[in-house]
Amino acid sequence: MASVSLESVSKNFGTHTVIQGVDLQINDGEFVVFVGPSGCGKSTLLRIVAGLVAATKGAVTIGGEDVTDVPASKRGVAFVFQSYALYPHMSVARNIGFALETLGLAKDAISQKVSTVARMLKVDHLMDRRPRELSGGQRQRVAIGRALVRQPEIFLFDEPLSNLDSDLRMEMRMEIAKLHDDLKTTMIYVTHDQSEAMTLADRIVVLNHGRIEQVGTPQQLYHAPDNRFVAGFIGSPRMNFLAVSPQTGANIGRISGPGNLSIAMVANNPTGPIAEIGVRPEGLRLVAENEGRITCTLERVEDLGHEHFAYCRITDDTVWVIRLASAPSMDKIGKSVGLDFADAAIFAFAADGKRVLLKGSSSGPAEVSEP
Ligand SMILES: Nc1ncnc2c1ncn2[C@@H]1O[C@H](COP(=O)(O)OP(=O)(O)OP(=O)(O)O)[C@@H](O)[C@H]1O
Ligand SMILES: [Mg+2]
């Protein structure tokens, strides 16, 4: 097990800066998940930790030792990729044990380690099969087994489950969580999947254009995002936003906006001028036209069985999504309706995207725990 520390790490490919001055401390035994839009640098940052890509600037420390110039094979890390690329001509057992063969370990020792790992990953009944004779989930288990058998100090996963169907993803997600509970090895995991990030992570790192937007527990990022980007990125469906016309200066008293939006802000006591508000789909209620805080047109309802999503148009280019437990009456479609929400459901943002704290709103790690 080992801690990982990145100090002012940057990476350029030619003139293109892909990682920009990243500072990050990962604790020994921690499960950290990198998320962010496609191309934001998640894989590159993971590869910098692994030693597969050299940082242009900055330092990488593993277990207190500066490994910036240490090759990948000497860093004590094991990597599991999205495309697991097993050796097609080798059996499951040899695929798992191959890294130990190349290290020159004795046959008996290899076979013992391979059986332990195979039992743990429930592929011990498949030892003689070739990869093409396995299901996607079994192949992915073998790929994880191949990493596991090396007893690395750090596991790095780059979207390991994205080729699997949703049932298998869920099953493998539970197994990776269990693996971490059992081994307590430091793990860094890249994913596009919100549920994977929220359920697996001790802490999530949100990346955007090669910079860290925020690092925090899943709950911190969901309840107390630092800025509009994180607020919009964490949560599915994403947070609804609306540009508003705030009173500025000493008179921050009321925010008004499209859809007859009018919120008295006196009681909320914002810390600065507000350019945009946000409310999550689960923070909204559909009410009669004149009973809500915003008026809009109900355009569409999606029925997912256990929940419903209503789509309400506020302006030509703003549609809000509402998560409902039961279906609204279908004769409301195309009609004007109201949306209501509690003060506590309102997130507010300044023109530069920074979150504006409102009285009573969750303000982040330090203050969340205050009585
Ligand atoms: N070897 C390379 N040479 C040049 N540019 C590269 C190289 N590897 C990555 N990039 C660029 O660096 C940026 C970050 O790539 P990276 O693969 O880290 O993104 P990502 O966040 O993992 O994206 P995705 O979610 O699509 O996997 C992209 O713009 C990509 O095109
Ligand atoms: Mg990637």
Could you state, in order of their start, the residue ranges of all structural domains in the chain? 4-223, 237-356
Nearest bound ligand to CA 54?
1
**CA-nearest residue, atom 28 of ligand 1:** 39
Q: Does residue 237 have a cis peptide bond before it, meaning omega lies within 30 degrees of 0?
A: yes
Predicted confidence at residue 77, as pLDDT, reads 93
Q: Which ligand is nearest to the CA of 53?
A: 1
Name the residue at shortest CA distance from atom 1 of ligand 1: 13
Looking at the CA of 157, which ligand is closest?
A: 2
**Residues near ion ligand 2 (Cβ under 5 Å):** 43
Q: d(Cα 244, Cα 250) in Å, to the nearest integer?
A: 17
Percent of the chain with pLDDT over 70: 94
Q: What is the pLDDT of residue 362?
A: 62
Q: CB burial class (10 A; 0-12, 13-18, 19+) of residue 10?
A: middle
- The string of pLDDT tens digits covering residues 38-80 is 999 999 999 999 999 999 999 999 999 999 999 998 999 998 8
Protein residues with CB under 6 Å of any ligand 1 atom:
13, 18, 36, 38-44
237-356: what fold? OB fold (Dihydrolipoamide Acetyltransferase, E2P) (2.40.50)
Cα 288 to middle of ligand 2, angstroms:
45
pLDDT, tens digit (0-9, with 9 covering 90-100), for 129-170:
999 999 888 898 899 899 889 889 999 999 988 877 888 888
22 CA from centroid of ligand 1 (Å):
16
Q: How confident is the model at residue 328 (pLDDT cuts 50, 70, 90)?
A: confident
Query: 4-223: CATH homologous superfamily?
Result: P-loop containing nucleotide triphosphate hydrolases (3.40.50.300)
- For residue 364, give every residue at least 6 positions away whose Cβ sits within 8 Å of its Cβ, in sequence order, or none: 216, 220, 224, 226
What's the pLDDT band for 245 if we cut at 50, 70, 90?
A: confident
pTM tops 0.85, yes or no: yes
Give the integer Cα–Cα distance in Å for 141 and 147. Answer: 10
